[in-house]
Amino acid sequence: MLTVKNLRKEFHGTQILKGISLEVEKGDVVAILGPSGAGKTTLLRCLNFLERADGGEMDFDGQHFQLDRISRKEIAGIRKKTAFVFQDFNLFSNKTALENVTEGLIIARKMPKAQAMEIGTRALAKVGLSDRLDYYPDQLSGGQQQRVAIARAVATDPEIIYFDEPTSALDPELTGEVLEAIRELAAEGRTMLVVTHEVGFARNVSTRTILMEQGQIVEEGSTKQLFENPREERTREFLNHFNKE
Amino acid sequence: MSERLIGILADSFFKILIPGLTVTIPLTVLSFSIAMVLAVILALVQFANVRGLRELARFYIWVIRGTPLLVQLFVIFYGMPSLGIVLPAFPAAVIVFSINEAAYCAEVLRAALEAVPKGQMEAGSCVGMSYLQIMRRIVLPQAFRIAFPSLFNCLISMVKDTSLAANITVTEMFMATQRIVARTYEPLALYLEVGFIYLMFSTILTWVQRAGEKRLATYGGKRR
Ligand SMILES: Nc1ncnc2c1ncn2[C@@H]1O[C@H](COP(=O)(O)OP(=O)(O)OP(=O)(O)O)[C@@H](O)[C@H]1O
Ligand SMILES: [Mg+2]
């Protein structure tokens, strides 16, 4: 469903992504692990065109794109079929929880308001926030904000959802509720690409895992294989490091 | 205080206040409204980096902020007629005050736009909104909140600056006062009186600002 070939990105002459290729099938939950500075965030941002890649190709939803030459219109088309959950939530701070969820439906997709409200209400109920519809982001805890962000992502029924360390900005006692919401999406068969430092979560929830380092993919494979029988020495080291903690 | 002076002050209070209500306030409201529209445009073309227009906006702000308001009033009212453009005093004043205020408000707004976290824009594009949709529904409303106190400051300054319009024959409060002074020879009492009326206007605006800021302090600040 999503295929990326040889994605490259540099900042000020430094190669940050040195030719990333990956494939995501419908229903896959792909975890991306890797040390800080590996380029995980940059990769996700390139996939949703928050950064423009310097080269590479993408096949998405049956269409082929040249990443460095893609047009605004094509980007807009792709974004209507994807969603992004940010590390620091990025809820619209001048909109209520419900409005945050319906904005993309009513404004971007011209859905009738009543229908959007219904979808939004349902999406927020699913993440356990039925009683917070009219709250503004600054009236919600971090975990609640991130759950609103997840509801916002799901409401548009995207083909794929990108998560960039969805729990990293949260106090430890709040990560559980957010991981639980993502786990439920996985159970429903949502296609997701999740950058995370929660190795345990990656192991338990993802179907495939990618390990990145210094702008390259070190190893990728089914989660079971990668955790139980890694091919690369570097993967073993990385996982051992976490097992020790 | 002599009875005569009290009589003059009491008598002139409404003679000053009425041009205040019929000239100073309309002049301020009209000019400030036009200025806001211009300011939004000037701020947006800079923020969005629209080439050509951005440089034009910078030039406009540079010139307007770099020259005295009084000079601008004189150029438009006394200068333009030599080009065959004769404007009545009130419209001339509205034009100058709008143009002048726009330059200052534009800078306030541009700074406020830049203060809106970048993630707001990114989140908007990720839910599929267009640049203009994001600006209109997400970024501008937040920028206005950030800019609110400074914009109100501009408004309060403007109320007082309208007294300069007396120099181009607009009969606003200050001009009205000057006329009474010419008749009664009580400059100290009367200029203090008009100062007091300006102070009243500013005080009311300060209250409005406070109330506004309280409401805008946080989104949905009612709860919690
Ligand atoms: N806008 C930018 N300009 C310049 N350099 C950047 C920019 N964004 C990222 N980088 C650099 O790219 C590298 C990869 O950054 P990235 O944020 O993608 O890493 P990451 O794997 O997400 O790390 P973390 O786990 O800490 O979030 C870093 O060295 C970073 O300094
Ligand atoms: Mg990151």
B36 CA: distance to closest CA in chain A (Å): 21
Q: Spell out which residues of chain A touch residue B117, defining contact as CB-CB under 8 Å.
A: 90
Tokens of B104: 């200052």
Per-residue model confidence (pLDDT) at position B214: 87
> If you average pLDDT over residues A27-51, what whole number do you get?
95
Is the CB of A36 within 6 Å of ligand 1? yes
> If you average pLDDT over residues A44-62, what whole number do you get?
95
Q: pLDDT averaged over chain A?
A: 94
- Confidence tier at A241 by pLDDT (50, 70, 90): confident
Per-residue model confidence (pLDDT) at position B217: 74
Q: Are A115 and A133 in contact (CB under 8 A)?
A: no
| DSSP class per residue in B150-176 | HHHHHHHHHHHHGGGGGGGT--SHHHH
Per-residue model confidence (pLDDT) at position A242: 76
Per-residue model confidence (pLDDT) at position A14: 93
- A245 pLDDT higher than 70: no
- A240 pLDDT higher than 90: no
Q: Are A137 and A110 in contact (CB under 8 A)?
A: no
- Dmax (CA) for chain A in angstroms is 55
Tokens of B137: 């529904």
Q: Hey, which of A9, A16, A50 would you mutate to test ligand 1's pocket, going by the most ligand atoms within 8 Å of its Cβ?
A: A16
The answer to whether the CB atoms of B219 and A93 lie below 8 A apart is yes
| DSSP class per residue in A33-46 | E--TTSSHHHHHHH
**Residue pLDDT, tens place only, A184-237:** 999 999 999 999 999 999 999 999 999 999 999 999 999 999 999 999 999 999
CB neighbour list of residue A198: distance below 8 Å, 6 or more residues apart: A167, A175, A179
Backbone angles phi, psi at B38, to 5 degrees: -60, -40
The answer to whether the CB atoms of B141 and A135 lie below 8 A apart is no
Is the CB of A16 within 6 Å of ligand 1? yes
Per-residue model confidence (pLDDT) at position B224: 39
What ipTM was estimated for this complex? 0.92
Rg (CA), chain B: 21
Is the CB of A46 within 6 Å of ligand 1? no
Tokens of B18: 């009425």
Write out residues in chain B with pLDDT < 50, as ranges: 222-224
Identify the sign of the CA torsion B36, B42, B46, B48. Answer: positive
- Please count the CA atoms within 13 angstroms of the CA of A240 that sit on its side-chain side: 8
A129 CA: distance to closest CA in chain B (Å): 17
Residue appearing with tokens 């965030």: A41
Domains along the sequence of chain B with CATH: 3-223 (1.10.3720.10)
Q: Taking the domains of chain A in order of start, what are their residue ranges?
A: 1-81+165-245, 88-157
Is the CB of A196 within 6 Å of ligand 1? no
Query: What pairing do the DSSP bridges indicate for beta strands A192-195 and A29-33?
Result: parallel
Tokens of B93: 């004043």
A206 CA: distance to closest CA in chain B (Å): 23
Tokens of B202: 């500013």
| Alpha carbon of A39 to ligand 1 centroid (Å) | 5
Ligand 1 atom 5 nearest Cα:
A11
Distances (CA, A) of B170 to A43, A44, B17, B92, B163: 63, 61, 15, 9, 9
A219 - beta bridge partners? A211
The answer to whether the CB atoms of B119 and A84 lie below 8 A apart is no
**Residue pLDDT, tens place only, A130-160:** 999 999 999 999 999 999 999 999 999 999 9
| Alpha carbon of B79 to ligand 1 centroid (Å) | 58
- A115 pLDDT higher than 70: yes
| Alpha carbon of B134 to ligand 2 centroid (Å) | 24
A3 - beta bridge partners? A23, A59
| DSSP class per residue in chain A | -EEEEEEEEEETTEEEEEEEEEEE-TT-EEEEE--TTSSHHHHHHHHTTSS--SEEEEEETTEEEETTT--HHHHHHHHTTEEEE-TT----TTS-HHHHHHHIIIIIS---HHHHHHHHHHHHHHTT-GGGTT--GGGS-HHHHHHHHHHHHHHT--SEEEEESTTTTS-HHHHHHHHHHHHHHHHTT--EEEE-S-HHHHHHH-SEEEEEETTEEEEEEEHHHHHHS-SSHHHHHHHHHHHH-
CB neighbour list of residue B184: distance below 8 Å, 6 or more residues apart: B8, B12, B190
> If you average pLDDT over residues A169-188, what whole number do you get?
92
CB neighbour list of residue B147: distance below 8 Å, 6 or more residues apart: B108, B109, B111, B112
The CATH code that applies to domain A1-81+165-245 is 3.40.50.300
Name which of A205, A222, A104 is nearest A153 in CA terms: A104
Name which of A217, A240, A222, A230 is nearest A8 in CA terms: A217
Per-residue model confidence (pLDDT) at position B223: 44
